[in-house]
A and B are shown apart, each in its own frame.
Chain A
Amino acid sequence: LAKTTQPISMDSYEGQEVNITCSHNNIATNDYITWYQQFPSQGPRFIIQGYKTKVTNEVASLFIPADRKSSTLSLPRVSLSDTAVYYCLVGPRGKNYGQNFVFGPGTRLSVLP
């Protein structure tokens, strides 16, 4: 299993762009990178997933360099409601690989007014 390292916490202000970087030096060739968001007392929620280069959806962008040893989740113009814990997970694709994903401590993002 690829081990991931993220900052424990980050602070930002409303309206700013936030970039959270995750290191995964031993990522395997068939591993994908997935980010989740968790609010207090709720289960984590899937945000975005990618394999290489850049992926964008309606809530975030995911940047993955060519060596894939790290990835960056980018949240454009954050608001107070983006205050949450963000998890970076790395593991193989496929429906039966769920057990390969380990939720670490994540990054606690605090958005200030």
Chain B
Amino acid sequence: EAQVTQNPRYLITVTGKKLTVTCSQNMNHEYMSWYRQDPGLGLRQIYYSMNVEVTDKGDVPEGYKVSRKEKRNFPLILESPSPNQTSLYFCAIYGGMGYGYTFGSGTRLTVV
């Protein structure tokens, strides 16, 4: 069974302090993605990756960076977090037909 592990689950940080949210999968899926979810705005895609060293912007990439140096890991980097990046973040993999997306448990980030 596909699993996506995100860390940390909860994080409170201050404006401007660089942080990384890690994401790893236990499968060998090529596609990985990051979403943020805010009340009333639904799930919005930040970045996605089609394979190692292949990443692309989603709908709301500003203020975020990602890297895909190996297939299993897809960290989300906030170089200089701001309060408007306070949100619930999800990492996901896509397994294709019959499996769809598998999401991580989420990371609740608060930037003060």
Q: A interface vs B, CB < 8 Å?
A: 32, 34, 36, 41-46, 49, 89, 93-99, 101-106
Given A49-B100, A95-B31, A98-B48, are A42 and B42 neighbors across the interface (CB < 8 Å)? no
Q: Are B103 and A44 in contact (CB under 8 A)?
A: yes
Q: Which residues of A contact B31 (CB under 8 A)?
A: 95-99
Between A and B, 16 residue pairs with Cβ closer than 8 Å are A34-B100, A36-B100, A41-B106, A41-B108, A42-B105, A43-B106, A46-B102, A49-B97, A49-B98, A93-B97, A94-B96, A98-B48, A98-B92, A98-B94, A99-B31, A99-B45
Q: Are B88 and A41 in contact, with the CB atoms below 8 A?
A: yes
Q: Is the interface of A mostly helix, strand, loop or mixed?
A: loop
Known contacts A44-B101, A98-B33; decide if A105 and B94 are in contact (CB<8 Å): no
Question: Does B61 touch A at the CB level, under 8 Å?
Answer: no
* Residue from B43, B56, B94 within 8 A of A44 (CB atoms): B43
B2: nearest chain-A partner, CB-CB: A46
Q: Report yes or no: A99 in contact with B58, Cβ–Cβ below 8 A.
A: yes
